[in-house]
Amino acid sequence: EKEGYPHFMLKEIHEQPRALRSTLHGLMSDAMMGEAAEMLADADTVFVTGAGTSYHASEYFALISMRLAERPVIAFIASEYGSYVNAAGPRDVLVAVSQSGETMDTLKALRAFKKRGSRVISLTNAVDSAIARESDVAVYTRAGPEIGVAATKTFLTQTLALTWLAVETATRIGSLRGGEEMELLKELESTPKHVEESISTTSELVKKLAERIAGSKSMYYLSRGVGLPVAREGALKIKEIAYVHAEAYPAGESKHGPIALVEPSFPVVFTIPNDAELQRMLLGNIEEMRARGGVIVGVLPRGSELRERVDLAIEVPRAHWIATALTHTPPLQLLAYHVASLKGLDPDKPRNLAKTVTVE
Ligand code: F6R
């Protein structure tokens, strides 16, 4: 039931704090989490894969893990497994991420890695799904059923669970400074509250932004570091439900070609993590885009100095950078939702798309 919301997507966006609370609860009581962290800490090479939104969560996991555990983690898009699987062996671990647990591309990747003797950890939202059943260790998000075709609450619960796993793994490897583990886990425990605030404080502003850009045919979503998968997720949402051509890429790439497309009123949405070094580098990219007359939107931590450098600042809670996907994604989901609504499209039923893709 939509519980008074006009669409499931909007309901599910607002359900995110609750979904995160259930997921946190599960993570804390599930012995499989410890086993998964143990397995990752012992692995030679860690691979992580998924499709669509689940790939974005996978990339987020790789970026957080590399920063915390100081080891390489290779993220790849599930349908591209053929290019990676020959590099895997019995000492390696694959993390397979899938909301439904039934996506054929991800299942095929899992099977191919198992054939090479690698062990598999799955993260799904569906108990007893094929991907959960065929993995060695199954970890779950507890987002509840997601009816909207566009993934929303499942992305936030995936990034929460995967960040938790990255912290637990780094703890076992011994790469965190004294007390850092507790500090990071505490940050993750605060995410339901942060997401609640991110939704409530940005909703009105995002609606206005939607009106401003609803006529745009094309947009960029830029970021760096842990903000990049969030930018990719923002672009995917607006493509799939509002049919706006949106491209996400690392902001440093602009000068290597894409900036040629930017002209007055071209929307450029920056995802700006709460990290001084990333902000310093993003400032240069913001200036480049402004100089071409782009409409610059910044999703940034409250109080950031970059607020003055963008045309429209969407302020989100000032949380630790490991929580970027949680704090920064909600306004991007809402933007896609409102642009779709303004165009008279049904965000719950985008054309050409199925909720779960069980063909290759
Ligand atoms: C995007 C979306 C899809 C899915 C993808 C993977 O909003 O819903 O891109 O993320 O099809 O599905 P799962 O996670 O079920 O494997």
Query: pLDDT by residue (tens digit) across 247-272?
Result: 999 999 999 999 999 999 999 999 99
User: Ligand 1: which of 12, 48, 53, 59 to mutate, most ligand atoms within 8 Å of CB?
Assistant: 53
Cα-Cα end-to-end distance for the chain: 32
Helices (H), the chain: 8-14, 16-29, 31-42, 52-69, 104-115, 130-133, 153-173, 180-189, 191-213, 228-242, 276-291, 324-342
Q: Cite the active site residues.
A: 355
Is there an atom of ligand 1 within 6 Å of 63 CB? no
Query: How far away, in angstroms, is 158 Cα from ligand 1 center?
Result: 12
Query: pLDDT by residue (tens digit) across 266-307?
Result: 999 999 999 999 999 999 999 999 999 999 999 999 999 999
Name the one residue in this structure whose structure tokens are 């609606």. Answer: 207
Query: How far away, in angstroms, is 283 Cα from ligand 1 center?
Result: 32
Shortest-distance atom of ligand 1 to CA 154: 14
Shortest-distance atom of ligand 1 to CA 149: 8
Cβ proximity of 240 and 56 under 8 Å: no
Shortest-distance atom of ligand 1 to CA 131: 16
Nearest to 63 by CA among 139, 162, 154: 162
Query: How far away, in angstroms, is 293 Cα from ligand 1 center?
Result: 34
Is there an atom of ligand 1 within 6 Å of 52 CB? yes
Query: How far away, in angstroms, is 229 Cα from ligand 1 center?
Result: 14
Q: How far apart are CA 16 and CA 285, in angstroms?
A: 31
Residue 220's identity, in one-letter code, is Y
Shortest-distance atom of ligand 1 to CA 52: 9
- The ipTM is 0.99
Give the alpha-carbon dihedral of 142, 143, 146, 151, to 10 degrees. Answer: -120
Has residue 9 got a pLDDT over 90? yes
Query: pLDDT by residue (tens digit) across 92-142?
Result: 999 999 999 999 999 999 999 999 999 999 999 999 999 999 999 999 999
